[in-house]
């Protein structure tokens, strides 16, 4: 085999221009496939990060009424929804798909939050437990976080996020400042920010409306303080952090199933007649991973056509290899006849020409991979789209180029192996 490879390389180097032109179809095909696959992988990763967030793997499970979340700022608290117990939270945490779990309450854009005389109507307020910041990937950038004691008693303290610090306090030190929440004073003790600093990639106006959430900032208070300004028995929502991205769907669904066990079924005849609001309340998990998969499938179905088109050039390249190998057999007819006269067997001649065709296409495949990687980088820079070099695509491409050499080199190799040594020696 080594001797056959050496002879193949010797033959390729002795006809450099012809060999390069022969490999051109293989090079173009492999380069096109690598560039397309890398762009698909990069785009899919961008879609997943934009919808899910970078590496956080969190799933939000919310109480819904139909397709919307109930607004408890004006609606009554339903009688059939229990506050989530520590036992239920432990069951969620014990799920094999779940890394962490946190419970919280929220008010979207409340009208009763003030700083000085300014109403913070576009803010969002959260009543959180001790696991919220760790699960959602927050860290304290300034000041201090809530202590264990503050989570349990009624200290009336608050933490704001960096957006509120920039937007409301204009980068002044907010520590020690007072917020008025529903007539109750809350002292700001810290500023929180996302640990990863992830921001969605915004390429157009549709991306903006998809990923942007308009808010002057977030306010966090301990969950036990929620009853001071709102109601203690308001239902909670939940966020779980899955062990990995692929486990997000399962973690969300199983958590929703556990939480829905807390919803008591109405049994009395009078309550059953009043169907509607209470009966439609249930916990549902976000389907961000499914949305990402749907967008990825749409992207793949479009780009798979491009891969097939690029594959045509591999077919053309294979035909070119077959043609040049037929020429090579014709040129080396006397050499083949001499080898056979000296005792070379048919299988030896067949292996020599198959090896030469395979080496030719493998070199073309390697060059195609290198050019494809370079082309991917150029596309990423010019078109401003992400790329992710796919190792499996590289391995498959090089392997496929070898197969092309074997398949299309088979006919010339058989022709060479079947030559009659006497006729071959007489060939002019």
Chain CA centroid to CA 113, Å: 38
Does residue 250 register a pLDDT over 70?
yes
More confidently predicted of 233 and 90: 90
| DSSP state for residue 173 in the 8-state scheme | -
Least confident of 71-85, 96-110, 242-256, 356-370: 71-85
Domain ranges within the chain, ordered by starting residue: 2-50+294-426, 58-242
pLDDT of 210 > 50? The answer is no
pLDDT at 209: 39
Q: Which pLDDT score, from 0 to 100, does residue 96 have?
A: 93
pLDDT in tens, 361-394: 888 888 888 998 888 888 878 867 677 777 777 8
Interval 242-254 mean pLDDT = 85
pLDDT in the model for residue 424: 56
Between residues 83 and 146, which one has the greater pLDDT?
146
Beta-carbon contacts of residue 116 (< 8 Å; ≥ 6 apart): none
- Provide the pLDDT for residue 276: 46
Q: What is the pLDDT of residue 184?
A: 92
Any idea which of 36-40, 54-58, 77-81 has the lowest mean pLDDT?
54-58
**Pick from 231, 228, 248: which is nearest to 179 by CA?**
228
Q: Which residue has the higher pLDDT, 330 or 254?
A: 254
The residue among 142 and 2 whose pLDDT is bigger is 142
| 204 pLDDT more than 60 | no
Mean pLDDT rounded to a whole number for the chain: 78
Helix, coil or strand: residue 181: strand
Residue 320 to residue 28: CA distance in whole angstroms = 13
* Residue 409 scores a pLDDT above 60: yes
Which pLDDT score is estimated for 79?
A: 73
Q: List, for residues 267-277, the tens digit of each pLDDT value.
A: 333 344 444 44
pLDDT in tens, 278-301: 457 888 887 665 666 666 666 666
Burial degree of 91 (CB within 10 A; 0-12, 13-18, 19+) = middle
Q: How confident is the model at residue 266 (pLDDT cuts 50, 70, 90)?
A: very low
| Cβ partners under 8 Å of residue 45, min gap 6 | 386, 388
Phi then psi for residue 247, to 5 deg, are: -90, 0
With a CB cutoff of 8 Å and minimum separation 6, the contacts of 41 are 387, 388, 389, 390
Mean pLDDT value across residues 325-340: 72
């Amino acid at each position: 085999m080594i001797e056959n490879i050496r002879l193949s390389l010797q033959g390729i180097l002795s006809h450099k221009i012809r060999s390069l032109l022969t490999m051109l179809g293989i090079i173009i095909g492999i380069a096109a496939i690598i560039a397309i696959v890398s762009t698909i992988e990069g785009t899919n990763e961008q879609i997943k990060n934009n919808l899910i967030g970078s590496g956080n793997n969190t799933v939000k499970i919310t109480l819904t009424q139909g397709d919307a979340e109930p607004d408890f700022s004006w609606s009554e608290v339903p009688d059939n929804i229990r506050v989530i117990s520590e036992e239920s939270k432990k069951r969620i945490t014990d799920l094999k798909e779940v890394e962490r779990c946190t419970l919280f309450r929220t008010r979207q854009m409340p009208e009763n939050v003030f700083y000085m005389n300014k109403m913070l109507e576009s803010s969002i307020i959260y009543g959180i437990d001790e696991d919220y910041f760790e699960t959602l990937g927050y860290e304290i950038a300034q000041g201090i976080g809530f202590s264990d004691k503050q989570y349990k008693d009624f200290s009336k303290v608050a933490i704001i996020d960096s957006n509120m610090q920039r937007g409301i306090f204009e980068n002044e030190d907010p520590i020690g400042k007072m917020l008025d929440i529903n007539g109750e004073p809350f002292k700001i003790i810290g500023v929180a920010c996302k640990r990863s600093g992830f921001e969605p990639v915004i390429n157009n106006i549709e991306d903006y409306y998809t990923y942007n959430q308009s808010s002057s900032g977030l306010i966090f208070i301990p969950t036990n303080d929620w009853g001071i300004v709102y109601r203690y028995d308001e239902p909670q929502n939940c966020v779980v952090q899955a062990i990995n991205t692929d486990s997000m769907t399962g973690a969300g669904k199983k958590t929703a199933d556990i939480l829905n066990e807390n919803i008591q079924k109405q049994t009395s005849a009078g309550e059953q007649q009043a169907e509607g609001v209470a009966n439609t309340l249930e916990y549902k998990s976000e389907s961000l991973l499914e949305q990402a998969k749907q967008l990825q499938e749409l992207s793949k179905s479009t780009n798979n056509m491009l891969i097939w088109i690029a594959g045509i050039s591999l077919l053309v390249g294979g035909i070119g290899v077959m043609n040049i190998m037929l020429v090579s057999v014709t040129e080396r007819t006397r050499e083949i006849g001499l080898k056979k006269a000296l005792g070379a067997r048919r299988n030896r001649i067949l292996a020599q020409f198959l090896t030469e065709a395979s080496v030719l296409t493998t070199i073309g495949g390697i060059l195609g991979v290198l050019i494809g990687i370079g082309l991917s980088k150029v596309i990423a820079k010019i078109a401003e789209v992400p790329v992710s070099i796919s190792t499996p695509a590289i391995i498959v491409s090089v392997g496929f180029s070898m197969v092309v050499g074997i398949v299309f080199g088979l006919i010339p190799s058989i022709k060479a192996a079947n030559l009659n040594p006497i006729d071959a020696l007489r060939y002019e």
